[in-house]
Amino acid sequence: MNLIRRGGKRQLGLGFLALVLGVGLAGCGARSSDQSRNNSGLSAAWVKVEPATVRNLAHTLRHTGQVEAWRVMNVTPEVSGRIAEIYVHEGDRVRKGQLLAKLDTRPRELQLEQARAALAVAKANLENARKEFERMEQLYKEGTITEQQFEKVQLALQAAEAQCQQAEANLHLAEYQLEVSIMKAPFDGVITGKWYEVGDVVNPMMGMATRNPGVLTVADPSKVKVTVDLPSNEVGLVRKGQKAYIEVTYVPGKQFPGQVSWVNPGADPVSKSFSAEVICDNPDWEVRPGTFADVYIVLDERQNAVVVPLSAVVNDSIVFVARDTVAVLRHVRVGLKNDTHAEILQGIEPGELVIVEGNFGLSDGAPIRIVQ
């Protein structure tokens, strides 16, 4: 009996100790949870917020393509010869008409002198033939010479005129060959390729048989073009003249405006996609040919719209606004949307803090904590 009583007292003491510890732990838990609960006892949800803003919003198609200068020309002489001088290097900016390179012009300068001398002789012969014709014409009228003699003088004058014309043509040809031996910039641009060196022989007739496209390559990057591939479900939305813009990673935060320059009506036989080209202004040459750009073709746009991040919109009709430590449910009317933002036609005012993360599962009046 004594053993049983002592055992009962021991069990009663252990039970009392457990009760005290339990109450103490519960009290600690309650105090720590006070920081994440409001007066109603609900746990506060951690959320991120952003203000509603007023801005222009566009609904776009986004694709990626390689940037090219809108004008590129391979500069090469129209006659063959040995390169005497190259005055520019890759990366140099050039102006229209600037001297870039030239062939050895000494042979053509001699040909030009020869053509000028031949023309001078032909003109002298023509002048002599005209005087002889005039003299013989007078004699023929007087009956002093026969008709046969007069016709002979006429033919001599015609031959002298033809020789003079031929000499003039040879002079023009010599001038032209000398002119095209000198290579000039066809437009304002930059040298993007140098394919020959001084002393090399260039033959334009062999251009297709060599790897070199020309002596030099000049590109005009004041505008750039980007070709993209459109799937069949998008090609009907794009048309020539449609507004577009491009963005490049190395010029962050800037859009380069342009427009669709053409849309191929025929699909690629392999990929079944439709190619389209966008041309954009690049006055400061910030966009570099050869790089990749994100192309945005504008399908629709709104000016001065109330805009929120797309993640703030729940079920396409609800936005939660953070008011102090409480989430307030708003029924909204959504307008234009793109990949990142949505236009709010009704229900949100500019500057209001909308919940963009942690909004799923929230209810009206739910306690929140904003993550800074």
**Residue 328, in any domain of the structure:** yes
The domain tally of the chain equals: 2
The tokens for 84 are 């005497």
Q: Indicate whether 310 belongs to any domain.
A: yes
Note the pLDDT of residue 274.
96
Model pLDDT, residue 338: 87
pLDDT value of position 41: 53
CA–CA distance, 206 with 11 (Å, rounded to integer): 109
The verdict on residue 17 lying in a domain is no
pLDDT at residue 24 is higher than 90? no
What band does 142 get if pLDDT is binned at 50, 70 and 90?
confident
Q: Is 338 left (phi over 0), alpha (psi -120 to 50) or beta?
A: beta
Q: How confident is the model at residue 276 (pLDDT cuts 50, 70, 90)?
A: very high
The reply to whether 337 and 355 lie within a common domain is yes
pLDDT at 266 over 50: yes
- The alpha carbon of 299 is separated from its chain's Cα centroid by a whole number of angstroms, namely 19
Close Cβ partners of 280 (under 8 Å, ≥ 6 residues apart): 223, 224, 225, 226, 244, 245, 246, 256, 257, 258, 287
Tell me, yes or no, whether 198 lies in a domain.
Answer: no
Quick: pLDDT tens for 76-104: 998 889 999 999 999 999 999 999 999 99
Give the pLDDT confidence of 195-209 residue by residue, as tens digits: 999 999 998 876 555
Which residues partner with 260 through β-bridges? Answer: 278
Residue-wise pLDDT tens digits, 292-351? 999 999 999 999 999 999 999 999 999 999 998 999 999 999 999 988 999 999 999 999
Do 317 and 267 lie in one domain? The reply is no
pTM for the model stands at 0.65
Is 29 inside any structural domain? no
141 — phi, psi (to 5°)? Answer: -65, -35
**Last residue of a domain, which of 301, 320, 353?**
301
Instruction: Output the pLDDT for position 39.
Output: 44
Whether 291 and 353 map to the same domain: the answer is no
Pair (293, 345) in one structural domain: no
Give the pLDDT mean for 56-72.
94
Single out the residue in 301, 322, 341 at which a domain terminates: 301
Q: What is the largest CA-CA distance in the chain?
A: 182
User: Domain of 307: which CATH number?
Assistant: 2.40.420.20
pLDDT class for 251, splitting at 50, 70, 90?
Answer: very high
Arithmetic mean of pLDDT over the chain: 87
pLDDT more than 70, % of the chain? 87
State which residues form the domain around 341: 45-58+303-370
